[in-house]
Amino acid sequence: MKTTKKKARTTAAHIRARLPVNRDRYARPLRVARGKIRNPGGLTTFSPPKPDPELVAKIRFDPAMMPARDSDGWACHPDVDLLYRAPYPGERIDHLLDDEGHVFDRDLLHAAGFLAEWRALEADHDAPPELLAEYFDLGLPDGIAAWNPVLDGAELVALYDTEDSGPVAMFVRRDYFREIRS
């Protein structure tokens, strides 16, 4: 006697029948994956507006405009302030907020032709060990003047303090591959 195996059907209805009571929770991803639901969850999708061309033209990070470090060692290029903006309605915010709740606008930075990189004092292997001990162990925040962070091919544009990571250096470099990617 010859036995034939039936090929298992994998339609959403068959899968739904084998799932526990709360079936819709499991079946919905199948419909989304097959393109039957265009906007999963019924949420409005967020797409930020294009950066303002006039503001993009202002961002140059001219080294001559970089102010001298103050007595505590902090400094910030004036163009960095242009990169912070109020959050858009519906925007998911999970990174790079300043004290006033403004968001760091990476799209604006990329539109100006720059890439940003950050280095924390704690992660800087070239930082003097005694400086790390003074800042983190003894709690002396005014000793950052001895820290001179360097990143090859990048320009230092800001030295500032954060609540989570302590002192942070912000670097920018030209994005030479911007036209290739766009």
pLDDT digits (tens, 9 = 90+) for 111-166: 999 999 999 998 998 888 888 888 888 777 666 888 999 999 999 999 988 888 88
Per DSSP, the residues of the chain read ----PPPPP--HHHHHHHS-S-HHHHHHHHHHHTTS-SSGGGPPP--PPPPPHHHHHH----GGGPPPP-TTS-EE-HHHHTTEEPPPTT----S-B-TTSPEE-HHHHHHTTEEEEEEEGGG-TTS-HHHHIIIIIS--GGGGGG-----TT-EEEEEEEETTTEEEEEEEEE-TTHHHH-
Segment among 4-13, 17-26, 38-47 with least mean pLDDT: 17-26
The pTM of this model reads 0.70
97-109 pLDDT tens trace: 777 778 888 889 9
Q: Domain residue spans in the chain?
A: 1-45, 53-181
